[in-house]
Each structure stands twice: as C-alpha cells, then as structure tokens.
Chain A
C-alpha cells in the first residue's frame, strides 16, 4: 500500500461548482498534513495546512479524519484559475519525520 494515495482524476467540473478530493495515508502516527497546488510545468506551492479540527481559507476547506486516515479538500464556487493538480502531503513520522507527497489529483474547471 502506498504511503499516500490520491485519485489521479481528472475531475472535470463547471465554473461555480463545489468539488471535493480525498486522500488516504497509511501511517497512523502521522502528525503533519498539507495540501499543495501544482500548475502545469510549475513547482508545487503550499495551498494550506490541515489541522485536526478542520480549517478554512476562503473558498477552500480542509478536513482530517484520523480514525479513517484520510484528509479532504473542498473547493467551493470553483474558478477557472483553480485548474491545477492538488497534492496531498503527509509526514512519515518514523522515517526522519519527512513529508511524503501523493501523486496528485488533477482538477479542470470549465466555463
């Protein structure tokens, strides 16, 4: 089983739609969780951290479910500019406490 698993997509949604991505992780001891965004042919950029109680940043909401070992990202009122690949990132805890990147979920928002 991969350490971090994501549905690669693509998710094709119309502008204004609400879309959600899930990501599962294998190490129950993981403590740090993030969502990154990567535009085509660009470097990954931090979108938001994920906190135990859930957190929101504008149109973006991140949730953590420790019991089921998954995190989610909800995007409301999708914009064309949200089209990108979203990477789920989890720390390994046992292996130098470093981050592991998921393979990403591709989102395409259409007019």
Chain B
C-alpha cells in the first residue's frame, strides 16, 4: 500500500548544482502537486498537474521545472540550486482537484 513515494529522503547540494526530486503514486490519481515548506511556515505550491502531459505553475515556480509524462510520475527539477531553495519538499496527489490530497513523506533538501 505505497501511496505517494518520494525519493530521495535527504539530499545536500552545492550552490549551482542541479537535481531531480522523484515522486510516484500508485492510486491512479489525475492530480499531482509539488509543495515546499520552510521551517515554521506553511505549504507553498510550486507546480501542479491535472493529468499526464499537463502542468501549470503554482505560487512559487521560479527556479523549478516539472514534467508529467505518465499518470504515476511527477518529477521536480531544480536547476542552478540556490540557498533559498533549502526546504522540505512534499509531493501530493488527489483524484480530482477538490478531493483530499495524499502526501509523500517529503524530501529534505539543503543547499550549501
């Protein structure tokens, strides 16, 4: 009963490096989301997707890119990592936009 799986769980990057955060779900959900959460703060939506081949920006998309080639996978790419991108990243999925979202257990990313 996997649900939403994120990899890696932890990562340290150097400034200017790039990486891809992986997210996969096995619930056949159409909607998938990427959030970031800074310490003591709320969730901020980075990107979302309403189905394979369709993605759209959330409130904080700068410095990130996404793709959605399959229903199951929604990777988030960081290009030219900056210290301001140090955060916890959560991936989530839902059947429709107004149904409850199911979250992965997060990726803790530090950029030094």
The contact size tier of chain A is 20 to 34
Q: Which residues of B contact A (CB under 8 A)?
A: 31, 41-43, 48, 50, 56, 88, 90, 94, 96-106
CB-nearest residue of chain B to A49 = B100
A interface residues with partner B (beta carbon < 8 Å): 31-32, 34, 41-46, 49, 87, 89, 91, 93, 96-99, 101-104
**Contact, CB under 8 Å: A44 / B105:** no
Q: At the interface, is chain A mostly helix, strand, loop or mixed?
A: loop
Min C-beta distance of A68 to chain B, whole Å: 21
Q: Is the CB of B43 within 8 A of A43?
A: no
- Give the residues in chain B near A42, CB-CB below 8 Å: 105-106
Task: Find chain B residues with CB under 8 A from A46 CB.
Answer: 100, 102
Q: Does A102 lie within 8 Å of B42, measured CB to CB?
A: yes
